[in-house]
Amino acid sequence: MILQALNRYYEILLKDPEQDISPPGYSAVGVSFVLNISAQGELLDVLPLFDQVPQGKKMVERPRRMIVPEQVKRSSGISPNFLCDNNAYVLGISDKDSQDPTHSARRFEAFRQLNKDLLASADCETARAVSAFLEGYDYPKGREHPAIAPELELLQKGGNLVFMFRGTYAHEDPAIRQVWEGYKVGKGANPGLCLVTGETAPIARLHASLQGIRGTNATGATLVGFNAPAYESYNREQGQISPVSEKAVFAYTTALKYLLSSANPNKKLTIGNTTVVYWAESEKQGYAHAFDALFEPPSIDEQVFTDQTGRKKSEKGLKEVAEKIRHVQKLDLAALLDELKNENPRFYVLGLAPNAARISVRFFLTDPFQKIVERMMQHYRDLEIVKEFENQPAYITVRHILDETVSKKASNPEASPLMAGAMFRSILTGSPYPAALYYAIINRIRADMDDSQKNIHKINYVRAAVIKAFLIRKYRNQPEEPIQEVLVMSLNEESTIPAYALGRLFAVLEKVQEEAIGKMNASIKDRYFTSACASPASVFPVLLRLSQHHISKAEYGYISDRRIQDILGLLDVQNNPIPARLSLDDQGIFILGYYHQRAAFYAPKNDKNAVVIQPLESK
């Protein structure tokens, strides 16, 4: 299903004149140098071919992206390309020659033979000029060539080279292209039934490697591949085990390379060690724009939303969705999606993780676009909770959440990749969050100590929001929701749930200590919170006795004393008012009660700027 979806997306990209997508038989690669040759095959110049591209706040040089004859997949041995290859193949020069004197020589000879054989069939001056260069070039003396010597250091760093004749790239000559395309058709492998397209066509032996996935080898990794006898069956090996035609392999790998590349205006996402790409089965890029903004609201980038691309006006609705999310404004997605004239294409989200020279599929999710939006907004609604400070984001992103699962003092503060992938899957499917996320947050609350200098807060906005959202999603589809009354945005002063009331009580006891003593080295939160959360019966009698001392010293101690009495009045004196143990769910409720009460102490009376995420009505 993944390959079929990517195959269809390739057809969409191929029809789009604004996308520089390579047609069958060609590859889009970075080219670092061009060899300018004369009609007699003399090398006139070696010209660097780098483009200045922005990277953060600075400009960096990148090889120019070109559509060249399809590159071969190299795993071992010598495999030359046509008219575009690295310096070892094209010029017979490599920094590996010191270890193996024949390293470059063998590669240049293979490159020369393949290209001369193909160019012999092309009746044009360009083909004759390149053939003359290959015939006359003395590669043992290449380092001393007056055109190569000035660029030798850069050449040996790697990169592809192409040929130019009279101001035109050789691989773009019509006669040469015709020869290459005929060669590709005639070179077809054994025909078979393609599992992707259902057509009888030449079956690919190897699938192209993919680059741009975090954690994979620098040379790339393979999504589909078989390289050991353990995978063989019925005397089938490599591509014959899972037959996919050369045309389908080219289509899905080209589409995936585009999604992973910087040419894609919708940047790939990273969650833990998982690289996420996404696309809609539509010619409009606006769907992916909106998904990107829903996933991680960044600062507004005006270039994304200008109409320089000449897209249809129906995309404005999607851009408005993204703009409003980026500016953290109140959303009315139903109205905005109505502007799309009921268009609701299928949307795809693919998570890829590294596995040595292989690529593992962490998740593959697909649904109509509106369903994806509904689930993303449900995720944000579940996380909605009163803020501690006005400048905190209304939309808590996945990155915010994952950052709270690891210690800020860790040398490698990376969240568990399996947990990150499971969480993203739960968001897009509307299922409960993984239990590992909840346990990780609870463990961090137990382990962390407040440290304002290192920006460490034992209980903060994000952690409280995650606890609330986890419990909401866990109990949402259960017939009875006994704790629903406390899974709300802000303080519920009427709740009689013991864990919630005890969390509130702890916040009041902490506040009266602060009022009585002021700044201190270790508060009751530092000393007793973890124990009070897990075993309240062993801690609260001590804290209540201690509070009387604090109340007598605090200027407004009588107010806190009244709050303590009101909260204790919510507990059922006849039925275990302070439990000996709290379950993990009750510990989360305790933390929510504490957070809600603390936020209520400092909340403004009328918060007119609060963002309320409205539900999106299903059509």
User: Residue 291's closest CA among 257, 268, 263?
Assistant: 268
User: Mean per-residue pLDDT for 413-423?
Assistant: 86
Backbone angles phi and psi of 353, in degrees to 5: -120, 150
Q: What is the pLDDT of residues 58-101, one digit of tens each?
A: 888 889 989 999 888 787 789 999 999 999 999 999 988 888 88
Q: What is the pLDDT of residues 237-280, one digit of tens each?
A: 776 788 888 888 889 999 999 999 888 888 888 888 889 999 99
- What is the CB neighbour count within 10 angstroms for residue 410? 8
C-alpha 612/C-alpha 437 separation (Å) is: 25
Is the pLDDT score of 439 beyond 80? Answer: yes
User: Residue 279's closest CA among 474, 582, 19, 600?
Assistant: 19
Is the pLDDT score of 28 beyond 90? Answer: no
What DSSP line would sit under 194-230, residue for residue? -TTT--EEEBPSSPPPB---TTS-TT-BBSS---SGG
Residue 511 corresponds to which tokens in the numbers above? 């506040």
User: Mean per-residue pLDDT for 412-426?
Assistant: 87
C-alpha 210/C-alpha 185 separation (Å) is: 24
- Determine whether 608 is exposed, middle or buried from the number of CB atoms within 10 Å of its CB (0-12, 13-18, 19+): exposed
- Provide, rounded to the nearest whole percent, the portion of the chain with pLDDT above 70: 88
Is the pLDDT score of 233 beyond 80? Answer: no
Q: What is the pLDDT of residues 127-184, one digit of tens each?
A: 999 999 999 999 999 999 999 999 998 888 889 999 999 999 999 999 999 999 888 8
User: Residue 471's closest CA among 363, 612, 583, 577?
Assistant: 583
Q: What is the pLDDT of residues 323-337, one digit of tens each?
A: 554 444 444 455 545
Residue 133: per-residue pLDDT: 96
Residue 315: per-residue pLDDT: 44
Q: What is the pLDDT of residues 510-537, one digit of tens each?
A: 999 888 887 777 889 989 999 999 999 9
Which residue has better confidence, 573 or 315?
Answer: 573
Residue spans of the domains in the chain: they are 21-186, 498-587
C-alpha 30/C-alpha 38 separation (Å) is: 24
Question: Is residue 92 left, alpha or beta, with left meaning phi > 0 and alpha meaning psi from -120 to 50?
Answer: left
Residue 158: per-residue pLDDT: 85
- What is the CB neighbour count within 10 angstroms for residue 292? 21
274-289 CB burial, b ≥16 within 10 A, e <16: bbbbbbbbbebbbbbb
User: Mean per-residue pLDDT for 378-404?
Assistant: 88
C-alpha 151/C-alpha 570 separation (Å) is: 81
Is the pLDDT score of 313 beyond 60? Answer: no
- Determine whether 604 is exposed, middle or buried from the number of CB atoms within 10 Å of its CB (0-12, 13-18, 19+): exposed
Residues 6+ apart with CB under 8 A from 248: 3, 7, 194, 196, 197, 201, 204
Is the pLDDT score of 606 beyond 70? Answer: no
**Residue 609: which pLDDT band, with cuts at 50, 70 and 90?**
very low
Is the pLDDT score of 419 beyond 70? Answer: yes
Residue 209: per-residue pLDDT: 83
Residue 184: per-residue pLDDT: 80
Q: Which amino acid is at 248?
A: A
User: Mean per-residue pLDDT for 295-299?
Assistant: 58
Residue 471: per-residue pLDDT: 94
Is the pLDDT score of 322 beyond 60? Answer: no
Q: What is the pLDDT of residues 477-508, one digit of tens each?
A: 777 767 888 888 888 999 999 999 999 999 99
Average pLDDT, the chain: 84
Q: What is the pLDDT of residues 559-571, one digit of tens each?
A: 888 989 999 999 8
- What is the CB neighbour count within 10 angstroms for residue 81? 21
**Residue 106: which pLDDT band, with cuts at 50, 70 and 90?**
very high
User: Residue 280's closest CA among 376, 371, 210?
Assistant: 371
**Residue 24: which pLDDT band, with cuts at 50, 70 and 90?**
confident
Residue labelled with tokens 């990749």: 417
